[in-house]
Amino acid sequence: MMASPFWFPSRKSTARTVYLGRNRVGNWVACEQRGVFGGLFVSRAQALKYALFKNGGHSDRIIEVTREIELYIGTDR
């Protein structure tokens, strides 16, 4: 059997950390640690479902924060 010349990262290595919390007006925010993806949601359940979908179902990589968080769109911060 010949080894594949391609390297495929494991599912765990591609899991992204997602922060979950509320913004200053009370909407739920889910945002990836480095800003790769994110969204605004009406409910915590919707934000959590999105976060799990986007990070491959790794609930251990979702961090719910108690401080306000904001969703920034674009590359300028």
**Is residue 13 over pLDDT 70?**
no
Sheet holding 62-64, edge to edge: 38-41, 28-32, 18-22, 62-64
Q: What is the pLDDT of residue 73?
A: 73
Burial of 14 (0-12, 13-18, 19+ CB in 10 A): exposed
Q: What is the pLDDT of residues 33-76, one digit of tens each?
A: 988 899 999 999 999 999 999 999 999 999 999 999 999 876 65
Q: How far is CA 20 from CA 2, 15, 52, in A?
A: 44, 15, 11
User: Predicted confidence band at 15 (pLDDT cuts at 50, 70, 90)?
Assistant: confident
User: Predicted confidence band at 5 (pLDDT cuts at 50, 70, 90)?
Assistant: low
